[in-house]
Amino acid sequence: MPYCSKCGAKLKEDDKYCYKCGTPATKIVKEEFTISADNLIEKVKELLHEGNITRIIIKDEKDKIMLEIPATVGVIGAVLAPWLAALGVIAALATNCKIVVERRE
């Protein structure tokens, strides 16, 4: 489900504009990576530094969502530390993870 890039409101897939603030909805493209838990933190850091990412979702082997990281966290470095600590716990619990990356087109 896409979110408004300005106010963060949940949008429907076919919405052209945000119903709250009127901002034009941007198209979101999803990518999925399967990665070992050992490389999880490095891959997420790499993805956050790319800049065009809206959201990162970490799933376990059974497609259960373990963590969602909004794009605004990547902008603020001090807020990133708790997310990385949570990623460390996930890496300790899981052997393989799926990373779903939502990008603005």
CATH of the domain at 38: 3.30.950.10
Residues 70 and 80 sit within 8 Å (Cβ to Cβ):
no
pTM of the model: 0.64
What's the average model confidence in pLDDT over 89-99? 73
Residues 40 and 97 sit within 8 Å (Cβ to Cβ):
yes
Q: Hey, is 86 helix, strand or coil? A: helix
Q: What confidence score (pLDDT) does residue 17 get? A: 86
The highest-confidence range among 3-7, 10-14, 50-54, 101-105, by mean pLDDT, is 10-14
Q: What confidence score (pLDDT) does residue 78 get? A: 47
Total number of domains in the chain:
1
- Helix boundaries (H) for 1-105: 40-50, 71-75, 77-93
Residues 23 and 6 sit within 8 Å (Cβ to Cβ):
yes
Is 63 within the bounds of a domain? Answer: yes
Give me 52's structure tokens: 């065009």
